[in-house]
Amino acid sequence: DGGITQSPKYLFRKEGQNVTLSCEQNLNHDAMYWYRQDPGQGLRLIYYSQIVNDFQKGDIAEGYSVSREKKESFPLTVTSAQKNPTAFYLCASSGTSGGETQYFGPGTRLLVL
């Protein structure tokens, strides 16, 4: 099946710990995105990538890092510098940057212990 997957579904982070969220797509999409959603809020863009080995900061990139070594994969690392990481993290992909429909993965819920 074609689609976009995220893992894990739930992730617990201890104080001072870096954690990495996985996002994989087999849709052959060029563009991939990471969003953060807080309760009752809309989606806020963390990072996006239009092509392999290239990515740009979104509106709330501080405390996060990404890599795009393969077209299919766009992992997000939540670093210890992110002081309020508890949120629902959504990965999306589209055929091109912005112009086409975005398809979302099922999300990862990150909780701080």
Partner 1 sequence: RKEVEQDPGPFNVPEGATVAFNCTYSNSASQSFFWYRQDCRKEPKLLMSVYSSGNEDGRFTAQLNRASQYISLLIRDSKLSDSATYLCVVVSYSSASKIIFGSGTRLSIRP
Our finding on whether 97 is near partner 1 (CB under 8 A) is yes
What tokens appear for 98 in the block? 């912005």
Pattern 34-73, binding to partner 1, x per CB under 8 A?
-x----xxxxxx----------x-----------------
DSSP symbols for 13-77: E-TT--EEEEEEE-S--SEEEEEEE-TT--EEEEEEEEETTEEEE-TT-TTEEE--SBTTB--EE
Is 3 a binding residue for partner 1 by CB under 8 A? The answer is: no
User: Checking DSSP bridges between strand 64-66 and strand 108-112, what pairing results, if any?
Assistant: unpaired
* Cβ proximity of 65 and 46 under 8 Å: no
Stretch that binds partner 1, among 11-19, 22-30, 72-80, 96-104 (CB under 8 A): 96-104
Using the rule CB under 8 A, is 93 a contact of partner 1? Answer: no
The one among 11, 66, 105, 110 contacting partner 1 by CB under 8 A: 105
Q: Which of 17, 20, 98, 111 contacts partner 1 by CB under 8 A?
A: 98
- Minimum CB separation from partner 1 for residue 102, in Å? 7
Q: Which stretch binds partner 1 (CB under 8 A): 10-18, 62-70, 73-81, 94-102?
A: 94-102
CA distance 92 to 39: 19
